[in-house]
Structure 1
Amino acid sequence: MENGHCFSDSCVNTISNSPPTTSLTFRPKGSLARALLEKQKHDEFLDAFDKRTWYQCNFSLLSTSLATKFVQLHPDEDTLQFLKQSEKKSDWVFTQVWHSLIKLVFGLFMTQTSINGWLRRGSMFVISHQQFKQLLLPSAFDHTWKSETLLDLGAGDGEVTAQLAPSFKKVYVTEVSKTMRSLLEMKGYEVLEIDNWHVDRKYDFISCLNLIDRCDTPLELLQQIRHSLNPNGVVLLAVVLPFSAYVEYGSPDHKPKELLPIKGPDFEQQVESVVRDVLNPNGFEVISWSRVPYLCEGDLQQSYYWLDDAIFLLRLKSI
């Protein structure tokens, strides 16, 4: 589920870059004043940061077969709008202080995902609708392409689902968090039970975004996706790299029962491992893929956070 990556200290991966520290002649008194000064420094760093680097790959580290399937994306209007909105929300100081207090108290007995759902905060952004259509182009789908059914697994608050939904006539979703399920129902999506979405149903398109590193049995999940896909169906799968498994629900030590054999010292070599060691053995082949930022709304520390996502358009391997 998208919101399973809480971008907090409880997750392995939190923030991709931090601004350099500088000496200050003025040091404000009070923790809130110091926090606001630090946030200003972080946001200045983010303003100057070249966001095109989020989408770049080192092709010299990729096999020819994967390099030729890479689709170059860029920070488009919807992506920049998400960043602007995140900056605006992050500047609501008293709201952010309230959120911090609620997280501190409710975190004793609620998951980060459920707290975010209750507060209506922490929305994620993976890929815009326009970027999604660009990823479809190598499959000979044109910009008018529309399909019957989408199943979005682990849909979180539905904000990421909303970027895909215009290309489908019917949208189904799954989600573990009860608060997030309520939000999804309010947005008009049909919420399926996590235990039987794959029973007696077939889908034209299944999205599984940032879920295989956040579920207890990712190999079982991939097989369920494979058997629930129509013969000519397509899968959109995203995974945070470097890979780090963390199970928010049902695992006391937050470790999954099934470990994925993803290895490699850098992003590109881990992409190769995802395809070679996980996707191909489980019956999928890559149509196209790209590198995108996995964005999250920020807080009093900075306006937004990101992790590096590899996103794949997949089909069933021909036998």
Structure 2
Amino acid sequence: MQCSNNKLQQDITATTPITKISDTHCQNDFDFSPYLPKPRGALARAIYNKHISDRYMNNFDRSKWYNCNIEQVPPAIAAKFVQLDHDKESMKFIQESEEKSDWIFIQIWHVIVRSILGWFMTQTSINGWLQRGSMFVISSAQFLKLLKSDGDWHRDSLIDLGAGDGAVTAQIAPFFGKVYATEVSNTMRTLLQTRGYKVLDVEDWDADRKYDMIACLNLLDRCNTPLQMLKQIRQALKPNGMVFLALVLPFSAYVEIGSKNHKPKELLPIIGASFEEQVTSVIEDVFHPSGFKVESWSRVPYLCEGDLRQSYYWLDDALFVLKASDEDGSS
């Protein structure tokens, strides 16, 4: 999403451990014999493989995206967990992604353009120029559930740090009177302005404003200085303000701009092998020392529009609603 105070919405299919579907995933779900022999041409093989992955995902139990083994986290953390599930808005995103991925000639055009523009543009800017690669994190209804609200919830100001094309912002924007955003990519900034959001400079978004909610969605793992980012966020909150934060787990840092080797200057001390272990570490080793307490948290899929290979992709996302704790987090 954003770093150096802006969202680096890179190409999720190129630089993150996406969930790719292969024959191995599918062979136990249905008989492959009607599809044999496999086609030889590159395009025909791509269409064939996409058909296989689509059939697998149509039979996939999507409830697995949202489930956690609460017994593997400390009781105090388990008590804050909010169970979510796929709803109408998340299914709409999946259906639209499936439709777009079937536009074969447009997908081929995207591949050609990306191969050319990739020499001098970031994947984020290319996606913005093509208006492809939109993400989905949470629906409006899921957002209210995470806030433990019955729907009568409204605040004055929101800023979405690294808002990308604004598709994720749009799900939570209706609950705020004023919506601000930051973004490093000029093409994405233009899309945000088209949506009516006030785009602030990535270097001074926190200079003279305080916010009721600061959204930091899938940004810390794309940020050169994530600990500094958390410090800025805490200082920019209004009294009793909240942070809406998403983080892909297992944690894997990748900095698109500002790092020669794509590694961040600051490393988050996240440990553990499983999703639950890393959630515990994020809370205890990152949030608490940074001066935050957890109000609620959940697990959702971080969805991305697909391509010729697959209709959509996903990562495991941990969602957190945070507030500033009594500790100042300066240490």
The bucket for the TM-score relative to the shorter chain is over 0.9
1:29-68 superposed matches below 5 A: 29-68=40-79
Structure 1 unmatched ranges of 5 or more: none
* C-alpha deviation, 1:59, in angstroms: 1.2
Normalising to structure 2: TM-score of the pair? 0.93
Paired position in structure 2 for 1:148: 156
Provide closer, same or farther for how the CA distance between residues 19 and 317 of structure 1 changes in structure 2, counting only shifts above 3 A. farther
Paired position in structure 1 for 2:217: 209
User: Given that residues 20 and 310 in structure 2 are in contact (C-alpha distance below 8 angstroms), is that contact kept between their aligned partners in structure 1?
Assistant: no
Q: Are 1:7 and 2:7 an aligned pair?
A: no
Paired position in structure 1 for 2:300: 292
CA distance in 2, matches of 1:223, 1:242: 23
Provide closer, same or farther for how the CA distance between residues 16 and 95 of structure 1 changes in structure 2, counting only shifts above 3 A. closer
Q: Which amino acid aligns with 2:64?
A: T
Paired position in structure 1 for 2:257: 249
CA distance in 2, matches of 1:290, 1:194: 28
CA distance in 1, matches of 2:141, 2:253: 30
User: SS of 2:215's equivalent?
Assistant: strand
Paired position in structure 2 for 1:220: 228
User: SS of 1:311's equivalent?
Assistant: strand
Q: Deviations over 1:249-298 (max 9, x none)?
A: 11110000000000101100000000000000000000000000000000
Paired position in structure 1 for 2:114: 103
Provide closer, same or farther for how the CA distance between residues 226 and 19 of structure 1 changes in structure 2, counting only shifts above 3 A. farther
CA distance in 1, matches of 2:69, 2:205: 38
Q: Deviations over 1:1-39 (max 9, x none)?
A: 166242223x13222654526566322231111110000
User: SS of 1:294's equivalent?
Assistant: strand
Q: Deviations over 1:180-207 (max 9, x none)?
A: 0000011100000000001121001100
Deviation beyond 4 Å, 4+ runs, structure 1: 16-19, 21-24
1:1-319 superposed matches below 5 A: 1=1, 4-9=9-14, 11-15=15-19, 18-20=22-24, 25-137=36-148, 141-319=149-327
User: Given that residues 164 and 183 in structure 2 are in contact (C-alpha distance below 8 angstroms), is that contact kept between their aligned partners in structure 1?
Assistant: yes
Q: Which amino acid aligns with 1:78?
A: E
Structure 2 unmatched ranges of 5 or more: 2-6
User: Given that residues 7 and 15 in structure 1 are in contact (C-alpha distance below 8 angstroms), is that contact kept between their aligned partners in structure 2?
Assistant: no
Q: Which amino acid aligns with 2:186?
A: K
User: Given that residues 16 and 307 in structure 1 are in contact (C-alpha distance below 8 angstroms), is that contact kept between their aligned partners in structure 2?
Assistant: no
Q: Deviations over 1:36-63 (max 9, x none)?
A: 0000001001100000100000112111
Backbone CA RMSD of aligned residues: 1.3
Provide closer, same or farther for how the CA distance between residues 19 and 291 of structure 1 changes in structure 2, counting only shifts above 3 A. farther
CA distance in 2, matches of 1:217, 1:257: 6
User: Given that residues 289 and 310 in structure 1 are in contact (C-alpha distance below 8 angstroms), is that contact kept between their aligned partners in structure 2?
Assistant: yes
User: SS of 2:314's equivalent?
Assistant: strand
CA distance in 2, matches of 1:133, 1:47: 28
User: Given that residues 3 and 124 in structure 1 are in contact (C-alpha distance below 8 angstroms), is that contact kept between their aligned partners in structure 2?
Assistant: no
Provide closer, same or farther for how the CA distance between residues 184 and 64 of structure 1 changes in structure 2, counting only shifts above 3 A. same
Provide closer, same or farther for how the CA distance between residues 16 and 236 of structure 1 changes in structure 2, counting only shifts above 3 A. farther
CA distance in 2, matches of 1:221, 1:206: 11
Normalising to structure 1: TM-score of the pair? 0.96
Q: Percent identity?
A: 56
User: Given that residues 18 and 313 in structure 2 are in contact (C-alpha distance below 8 angstroms), is that contact kept between their aligned partners in structure 1?
Assistant: yes
Q: Which amino acid aligns with 2:253?
A: A
Q: Which amino acid aligns with 2:326?
A: S
Paired residues in the alignment total 315
